[in-house]
């Protein structure tokens, strides 16, 4: 199947095949950022059905993608110079100086390739559309290379973990978009446990859940920390969740304070 890369700063991923006349009414299931790679599953006119590297599928317009050959795919998937932009918004400039023309603005989480080592506070990068530019060095962070687990063994390892987290075998085989919010959270936690990652990062893990389901997810995360010896880092606005944390930091006026 054809691999492609997102070239626009942000591209909407639609749950079902979009109706161009009623596009604003279509359900958006995700937003893809520049530099993210996807697999093309199907084409209908100018619309493509794609699968993301993290398991979401949906439809997007082909103008937001650039198809990759095998060499380009390896470069973007396995490059040791893969860089993640970590500021909320980052201007990509034509040359390494503040007054330089702006080529584009990318969102936090976009992927780029570092062309050379940092120099004088600037990082030269290659964008997903193959153009090059410069960003402040503090805006770019090297991505750690994660251990790749073969697909079939990973599936076998995941099933008992999913069952422990409260999902049946039938639910475990469903498309993630056909699961409830609580079930999706359980799948996300199971993915982390299968990879044996020592750190679990959870951004508002109970934000869209009802009270009972939120309590169940909180219990699972606490078990990961206390029984499985994982470092669980949670970002939340939930006071109920804060009360159950072992250590709490608050972001206040740009400063991170332990409370």
Residue 93 CA to residue 156 CA, distance in Å, equals: 47
- Rounded Cα distance between 130 and 243, Å, is 48
- Given 50, 75, 100, the domain boundary residue is 75
End residue of a domain, out of 75, 96, 116:
75
pLDDT at 131: 93
131 and 163 housed in the same domain: no
Alpha carbons 139 and 93: distance in angstroms, whole number: 13
Looking at residue 157, its pLDDT comes to 67
Distances (CA, A) of 62 to 1, 96, 239, 258: 16, 32, 43, 47
pLDDT value of position 146: 45
Looking up residue 165, the CATH number of its domain turns out to be 3.40.50.300
Cα separation, 161 vs 186, in Å, equals: 10
Give yes or no: residues 65 and 83 share one domain. no
135 and 156 in one domain? no
Looking at the fold, whether 161 and 241 belong to one and the same domain comes out as: yes
The position carrying tokens 């470069």 is 75
**Domain count for the chain:** 3
* Token pair 């990318």: residue: 106
Q: Cα torsion for 107, 113, 118, 121, to the nearest 10°?
A: -20
Residues in the chain: 259
3-state SS, residue 203: strand
Q: Which domain holds residue 52?
A: 3-75
Quote the pLDDT of residue 145: 46
Q: In what order do the strands lie in the sheet with 3-6?
A: 28-33, 10-14, 57-61, 47-52, 37-44, 3-6, 65-68
- Domain edge (last residue) among 44, 75, 106: 75
pLDDT in tens, the chain (259 residues): 789 999 999 998 888 887 665 666 677 888 899 999 899 999 998 899 998 887 788 899 989 899 988 888 877 766 666 777 878 889 999 999 999 999 999 998 888 998 877 778 899 999 999 999 999 988 877 655 444 445 555 566 678 888 877 888 888 777 666 777 778 878 888 877 777 778 888 888 887 777 888 888 888 889 889 988 889 999 998 888 899 999 999 988 888 888 8
């Amino acid at each position: 199947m054809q691999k492609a890369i997102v070239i626009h700063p942000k591209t909407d991923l639609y749950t079902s095949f979009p109706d161009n006349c009623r596009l604003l009414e279509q359900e958006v299931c995700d937003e893809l950022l520049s530099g993210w790679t996807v697999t093309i599953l199907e084409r209908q006119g100018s619309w493509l059905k794609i699968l993301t590297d993290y398991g979401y599928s949906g439809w997007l317009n082909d103008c937001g993608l650039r198809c990759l050959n095998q060499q380009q795919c390896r470069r973007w998937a396995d490059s040791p110079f893969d860089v993640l932009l970590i500021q909320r918004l980052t201007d990509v400039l034509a040359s390494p100086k503040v007054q330089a023309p702006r080529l584009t603005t990318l969102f936090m989480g976009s992927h780029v390739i570092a062309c050379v080592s940092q120099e004088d506070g600037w990082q030269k990068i290659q964008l997903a559309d193959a153009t090059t530019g410069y960003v402040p060095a503090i805006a770019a962070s090297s991505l750690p290379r994660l251990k790749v687990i073969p697909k079939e063994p990973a599936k076998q390892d995941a099933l008992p973990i999913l069952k422990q987290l409260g999902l049946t075998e039938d639910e475990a085989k469903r498309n993630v978009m056909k699961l409830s919010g609580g079930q999706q959270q359980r799948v996300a936690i199971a993915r982390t446990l299968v990879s044996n990652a020592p750190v679990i990062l959870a951004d508002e893990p109970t934000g869209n859940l009802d009270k009972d389901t939120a309590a169940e997810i909180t219990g699972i995360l606490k078990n990961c920390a206390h029984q499985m010896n994982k470092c669980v880092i949670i970002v939340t606005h939930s006071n109920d969740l804060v009360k159950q944390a072992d250590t709490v930091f608050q972001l206040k006026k740009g400063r991170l304070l332990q409370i």
